[in-house]
Chain A
């Protein structure tokens, strides 16, 4: 049997196992362990366990539980409610102002958190009920919350970029800087879309009555103070890291501490809240880490039979594609695979196959791996949102109010996915959108 055929068989076995609905980590781990024993015999029995030590040596992984913890604490702290009120008052008069405010809230939350879980929790718990109560169109706002929450992995800090950085061996600080402008650009695109759509179809977004918004300027300014705490957290966490004062993992600990202090200061930190947060943090972290552990073993076996070489041979030699066509194929295959494969597993299994390919492609871009990190993250964002397999969809279903149904959730993401695809195209056409900021910092 040729190696290519073996690779395809292993991959197909994994997809089949996933379809049985067994836990993702067990499905992937089973295929990895089975393939190791079949292909390499008894000597390979340690392979799945050795992945734990590969993971051990990826010490930036420490940021994962800390960011998860931070996200949950921030959601509990009441910071988001204050911010949301401020955005509401400041943008209330605009058509669709509350939806726009929701996107802005998500940008701020993204800037203090590295995963999309936090944005999701906050959006579903605070923004969604409020928007529904005011008669906003549920299809649009469901999409707004989901699209907004994916910004969490593009606007620094970002756990996805940490993982990518470990796989592609690129400095995390440069990757984070590269994600900043594209993240803000994408948020701006969402806002423009909402504004235009609400102008054209005013029934989607009723205006807030004046009585609620009429308040003296002094009070309005007072509301803006809600931004102080997030700014401080951002400064102590991301700011100190980008200035080179704290290391990456230290900055995550500083962030977690400052979020805890903020919650304490707001008087929201009870023992019960703390316990729930710590429990949820472990459940989510374990889910991610066990998938990564199993996927690392799977990746090692996949790599061992020469899958990287096989894909390279297929794209470049056999199909004779130009570099840009190869890039297009890669991104498309991500989105197709994202329909079957869990997002974290995709990151750990597929990214190592593609990163070497990007390195040899002649795209004419300096720092091509930094740039690809951003493009890759946007593809991940799309994968997180496209059915049937996306964490955001899962979380949304679990957290959204009852009147929002699964079909609504699926349909609501369509326009936002198109906007994200447009953003990815823009960044491909103008790599400087991503690369300008990191270059400025490096020159200094």
Chain B
């Protein structure tokens, strides 16, 4: 495969790995915040009103930022009734074709996220609650995560195409 494609795949995969590494440890942030909530509410009886919402934000960050990592490492389940009967090359070719569907879905998601982000920035949208946090940071993070997923999908298409041609990208 041409050099620029190889280095694109290498860099995107590496960056995805880094983001995924950070995202996967967010699970401890969720556990910690909710545990803090349980303790302040029940043990020292000083209920806080932000922990649940904070954990909700963390969950959104968790699966959006983890999205490209699980794409890269094949974490998403497939219906393999027919898929499994194909050869490795056949699967790679089919993946190249149907990845357009993945890209279409991610594209629509990105479009929606940007228009929603723009709205939030223009109106200074906040969550309607006691804590009343701004939703702009999480929406920015979600949009960026979708962009990374698109980059990662393209990297996967390159890799599948290479597999189909009987080569490998290293």
Inter-chain contact B82/A19, CB cutoff 8 Å: yes
Complex Cα distance, B56 from A18, in Å, reads 30
Inter-chain contact A250/B38, CB cutoff 8 Å: yes
With both beta carbons as reference points, the residue of chain B lying nearest to A257 in the complex is identified as B35
Inter-chain contact B77/A23, CB cutoff 8 Å: yes
Inter-chain contact B77/A283, CB cutoff 8 Å: no
Chain A residues 169-213 with CB under 8 Å of chain B are none
Inter-chain contact B63/A289, CB cutoff 8 Å: yes
A24 within 8 A of B: yes
Known A-B contacts A27-B101, A30-B102; the reply to A257 vs B108 at CB < 8 A is: no
Residue from B64, B102, B111 within 8 A of A26 (CB atoms) = B102
Residue from A61, A279, A290 within 8 A of B76 (CB atoms) = A290
Residue from A69, A252, A257, A282 within 8 A of B23 (CB atoms) = A282
A285 within 8 A of B: yes
B13 within 8 A of A: no
Inter-chain contact B60/A257, CB cutoff 8 Å: no
Inter-chain contact A65/B27, CB cutoff 8 Å: yes
B31 within 8 A of A: yes
Inter-chain contact B80/A21, CB cutoff 8 Å: yes
B142 within 8 A of A: yes
Known A-B contacts A285-B63, A287-B70; the reply to A246 vs B79 at CB < 8 A is: no
A355 within 8 A of B: no
Binary contact readout B46-86 vs A (1 if CB under 8 angstroms, 0 otherwise) = 00000010011001101110110111010111111111101
Chain A residues with Cβ below 8 Å from B56 are 56, 59, 62
Inter-chain contact B42/A52, CB cutoff 8 Å: no
User: How many residues on the B side are at the interface (Cβ–Cβ under 8 A)?
Assistant: 58
Complex Cα distance, B56 from A240, in Å, reads 22
A426 within 8 A of B: no
Main DSSP-derived SS at the A contact region? helix
Inter-chain contact B75/A278, CB cutoff 8 Å: no
Chain B residues 71-113 with CB under 8 Å of chain A are 71, 73, 75-84, 86, 91, 94-95, 98-99, 101-102, 104-105, 108-109, 111-113
Complex Cα distance, B69 from A391, in Å, reads 21
Chain B residues with Cβ below 8 Å from A29 are 105, 109
Chain A residues 249-283 with CB under 8 Å of chain B are 249-254, 256-257, 278-279, 281-283
Inter-chain contact B78/A22, CB cutoff 8 Å: yes
B116 within 8 A of A: yes
Known A-B contacts A30-B101, A278-B24; the reply to A287 vs B42 at CB < 8 A is: no
Residue from A21, A33, A48, A394 within 8 A of B98 (CB atoms) = A21
Write the nearest CB–CB distance from A351 to chain B, whole angstroms. 19
A-B contact count (CB 8 A): 188
Chain B residues with Cβ below 8 Å from A24 are 76-79
Inter-chain contact B112/A46, CB cutoff 8 Å: yes
A50 within 8 A of B: yes
Residue from B52, B63, B108 within 8 A of A290 (CB atoms) = B63
Inter-chain contact A253/B31, CB cutoff 8 Å: yes
Inter-chain contact B105/A282, CB cutoff 8 Å: no
Write the nearest CB–CB distance from B147 to chain A, whole angstroms. 13
Inter-chain contact A62/B94, CB cutoff 8 Å: no
Write the nearest CB–CB distance from A378 to chain B, whole angstroms. 22
Inter-chain contact B34/A249, CB cutoff 8 Å: yes
Residue from A36, A290, A342 within 8 A of B79 (CB atoms) = A342
With both beta carbons as reference points, the residue of chain A lying nearest to B37 in the complex is identified as A250
Most interface-central of B25, B42, B79, B101 (chain A CB within 10 A):
B79
Complex Cα distance, B23 from A293, in Å, reads 18
Chain A residues with Cβ below 8 Å from B148 are none
Inter-chain contact A22/B55, CB cutoff 8 Å: no
Known A-B contacts A21-B91, A45-B108, A253-B35; the reply to A65 vs B75 at CB < 8 A is: no
Q: Which 5 A-B pairs have the closest CB atoms?
A: A21-B83, A49-B112, A253-B34, A283-B75, A29-B105
18 contacts between A and B (CB under 8 A): A17-B98, A21-B80, A21-B84, A21-B91, A22-B98, A26-B102, A45-B108, A48-B112, A59-B52, A65-B62, A69-B27, A246-B38, A247-B37, A282-B24, A287-B75, A287-B77, A290-B76, A389-B81
